[in-house]
A and B are shown apart, each in its own frame.
Chain A
Amino acid sequence: MTTHYLVLSALLFAIGGVGVLLRRNAIVVFMCVELMLNACNLAFVTFARQHGNLDGQLIAFFVMVVAAAEVVIGLAIIVMIFRTRRSASVDNANLLKY
């Protein structure tokens, strides 16, 4: 079963990665990052059971704490730029160029 869970987590991680590259809406991009973090957590929980130690579950717990803090900061930043530009698209954020 371990392998099954790991393949599922790898798939979710990759789908999240594709989403980050594909989507233009900053909020959706950030949701895809959250999906990737969730995939990581699934891998941690699976490995915890594989090894029979609690470290994996513990890390997953910490990841949730970190993700919650990250979401607060991230959404605050996105709302800030939305209020300025009335758009959350990453394409409109194009002032910084080579």
Chain B
Amino acid sequence: MNGGTIEAPTIEYALLAPMLLIFGAAVVGVLVEAFAPRYLRKSIHVPLTLLALAGGFLLTILQAVREGVPTTPAAMGAVAVDGPALFIWGIILVLAFVSTLLINDDEQFVAQAAAVPGSSDEEAAVRHGYAQTEVYPLLLFSVGGMLLFPAANDLLVMFVALEVMSLPLYLLCGLARRRRLLSQEASVKYFLLGSFSSAFFLYGMALVYGYAGSIDLRAISSALGTVAGQDILLYVGVALLGVGLLFKIGAAPFQAWKPDVYQGAPTAITALMASTVLVAAFGAVLRVFWVALGNLDWDWRPVMWGVAILTMVVGAIVAITQTEIKRMLAYSSIAHAGFLLTGVIATGGPEQNQEALSAILFYLVAYGFATVGGFAVVTMVRDAGGEAGHLSRWAGLGKRAPLLAGIFAFFLLAFAGIPLTSGFFGKYAVFSAAVAADALPLVVVGVVASAIAAFFYVRVIVLMFFSEPAADGPSIAMPTVGTSAVVALAAAATVVLGVFPEPVLNLADQAASALFIR
């Protein structure tokens, strides 16, 4: 009996500063929501959110430059701030910053979420210029969860981070200003499927805990092979954990939510989900499968092969039949998850792992920027009732707005992986890592899927530039400073990464050089 004294835990506040800053800003945002008068709220929230994200990014860089990469987990072994984690934090914070510019910009969000769509209450709320400014703190909470998710060093923290990341997103999905019914439906679907999948993650976690007696990733890794007669617990547990994680990245048997949610959600939130959530979820997948289950790779690799092939094929083929621009981008995001999974499979010795990891990190940067840019363009092409979603409405856009259509075509080419765009080097890096790991058939499937995907990207480009514009075609919204900044930034990033990828590749190499903390 130690008389109720508990030794105080040590928490490395400096290491965790970026995450703590984001959470702190979120809490301040909630206070602003409570105490600031309505007309001031937005003008406080926007700088607060942007400053927090920028500050987090600076702190991340400072951490990497000044103190180097730590080699032990922080906060009593709960969080592993290692090279890949810092790199992923950087990507997430930059992409979230860019998405915030998009969110800030536009009347994308509902005036009053509690007012029934089409009711006189809603009209009155719109007329009074109400806005649901809670979006900003919710966004910050979600970003905080995204930072924690890929840096979690035990499964419990990973589960909590998964929920911190997802819950605000479930809400944000339902807050679109136009087509509210669609948006609310997307929110319900995302929520039900998301909580279903997190139940699977949790049961998997229980079985793995039952096998290893611990939830610490390193302890699980060292327990592999030492426990006799309970392998089946481990296998079923890993499979269920995998279901939960693969759902979040939208890999093939679990991809059904992606097109629906991406279509229904406000486009700025779609941009956020498509870029940052994918980045964070891949970080977590890598941590679970490489750190905890790295010694089990002979067992999970065949299954992952199947998943990767299925994901690439489904993403590429179903995308062809789509007639809605956001759904098409959603299927393209599914296909990209498949391409990224080929990198996850490319494990081997430390050097091989390092190559694969750096390839994945580079791919995530390239894909993230192109995606945010693509969705930013989607917000600008409008009909009377909101964004012009149907592809036929995009016909002849190249003649009405050549610059915008040109930029969008460029993003599509980057998705397709045409040389001189960022997508090319991303795909090249991932596929060459996979070849080095003797996964040639997978790469062949990947190349074929890329070709199929390129077909429908080119089809959209042809539609934009070589068809006659409809007489009542969509109008191009006069872009505000935020949106044009997002488009310009994303386009610049895509060009620079495509023409001059060296610095970022080197940075990814450096981040990957130490691999994950084990």
Contact present between A and B (CB < 8 A): yes
Residues on A lying within 8 angstroms of B by beta carbon are 6, 9, 13, 16, 20, 26, 29-30, 33, 36-37, 39-40, 43-44, 46-47, 50-51, 53, 55-56, 58-59, 62-63, 66, 69-70, 73-74, 76-78, 80-81, 83-85, 90, 93, 95-96, 98
A30:B206 contact, CB within 8 angstroms: no
Closest to A85 in B: B181
B116:A83 contact, CB within 8 angstroms: yes
B213:A53 contact, CB within 8 angstroms: yes
B181:A70 contact, CB within 8 angstroms: no
Residue of A36, A46, A85, A96 with most chain B CB atoms under a 10 A cut-off: A96
Show 26 A/B contacts (Cβ-Cβ < 8 Å), sorted by A. Answer: A26-B188, A29-B192, A33-B196, A33-B199, A40-B202, A40-B206, A43-B203, A43-B206, A47-B210, A53-B214, A56-B206, A59-B205, A70-B195, A73-B191, A77-B191, A78-B188, A81-B174, A81-B184, A81-B185, A81-B187, A84-B180, A95-B181, A95-B182, A96-B185, A98-B259, A98-B321
| Number of interface residues, chain B, beta carbon within 8 A | 43
Cα of A90 to Cα of B185 in the assembled complex, Å: 9
**Residue B305 CB within 8 A of the other chain:** no
Closest to B179 in A: A95
Closest beta carbon of chain B to A30's beta carbon, Å: 7
Q: B163 is contacted by which of A6, A30, A69, A80 (Cβ under 8 Å)?
A: A69
Please give 13 more A-B residue pairs, beta carbons under 8 A apart, in addition to A43-B206, A76-B171, A81-B184.
Answer: A36-B199, A36-B203, A43-B210, A44-B206, A53-B214, A56-B206, A59-B205, A66-B160, A80-B114, A81-B188, A85-B181, A95-B185, A98-B318
Q: B184 is contacted by which of A20, A29, A80, A90 (Cβ under 8 Å)?
A: A80
Cα of A77 to Cα of B480 in the assembled complex, Å: 31
Cα of A83 to Cα of B174 in the assembled complex, Å: 13
A77:B116 contact, CB within 8 angstroms: no
Set of chain A residues within 8 Å of B205, measured between Cβ atoms? 40, 59
Set of chain B residues within 8 Å of A50, measured between Cβ atoms? 210
Closest beta carbon of chain A to B176's beta carbon, Å: 12
Closest to A13 in B: B203
Closest to B318 in A: A98
Closest beta carbon of chain B to A81's beta carbon, Å: 5
A73:B170 contact, CB within 8 angstroms: yes
Closest beta carbon of chain A to B192's beta carbon, Å: 6
Closest to B192 in A: A29
B171:A73 contact, CB within 8 angstroms: yes
* Interface SS majority for chain A: helix
User: Would A62 and B180 be within 8 Å (CB), given that A33-B195, A53-B213 are in contact?
Assistant: no
User: Would A96 and B206 be within 8 Å (CB), given that A66-B159, A90-B192 are in contact?
Assistant: no
**Residue B317 CB within 8 A of the other chain:** no
A37:B213 contact, CB within 8 angstroms: no
List the 5 shortest-distance A-B pairs measured between CB atoms, nearest first. Answer: A43-B206, A36-B199, A47-B210, A96-B260, A51-B213
Closest beta carbon of chain B to A10's beta carbon, Å: 9
A59:B181 contact, CB within 8 angstroms: no
User: Would A62 and B160 be within 8 Å (CB), given that A37-B202, A40-B202, A47-B210 are in contact?
Assistant: yes
**Residue B215 CB within 8 A of the other chain:** yes
Q: A84 is contacted by which of B181, B203, B206, B322 (Cβ under 8 Å)?
A: B181
**Residue B113 CB within 8 A of the other chain:** yes
Closest beta carbon of chain B to A72's beta carbon, Å: 9
B182:A69 contact, CB within 8 angstroms: no
**Residue B447 CB within 8 A of the other chain:** no
Set of chain A residues within 8 Å of B192, measured between Cβ atoms? 20, 26, 29-30, 33, 74, 90
Set of chain A residues within 8 Å of B171, measured between Cβ atoms? 73, 76-77
Cα of A53 to Cα of B214 in the assembled complex, Å: 9
User: Would A55 and B214 be within 8 Å (CB), given that A84-B116, A96-B260 are in contact?
Assistant: yes
Closest to A33 in B: B195
Set of chain A residues within 8 Å of B186, measured between Cβ atoms? 96
Cα of A17 to Cα of B160 in the assembled complex, Å: 22
User: Would A93 and B263 be within 8 Å (CB), given that A47-B209, A66-B159 are in contact?
Assistant: no
Cα of A97 to Cα of B192 in the assembled complex, Å: 17
Set of chain A residues within 8 Å of B184, measured between Cβ atoms? 77, 80-81, 84
Residue of B160, B180, B187, B210 with most chain A CB atoms under a 10 A cut-off: B210
Cα of A56 to Cα of B207 in the assembled complex, Å: 11
Interface positions of B from 261 to 319, Cβ below 8 Å from A: 263-264, 318
Set of chain A residues within 8 Å of B113, measured between Cβ atoms? 80
Set of chain A residues within 8 Å of B182, measured between Cβ atoms? 95-96
**Residue B117 CB within 8 A of the other chain:** yes
A55:B181 contact, CB within 8 angstroms: no
User: Would A69 and B185 be within 8 Å (CB), given that A40-B199, A44-B206, A77-B191 are in contact?
Assistant: no
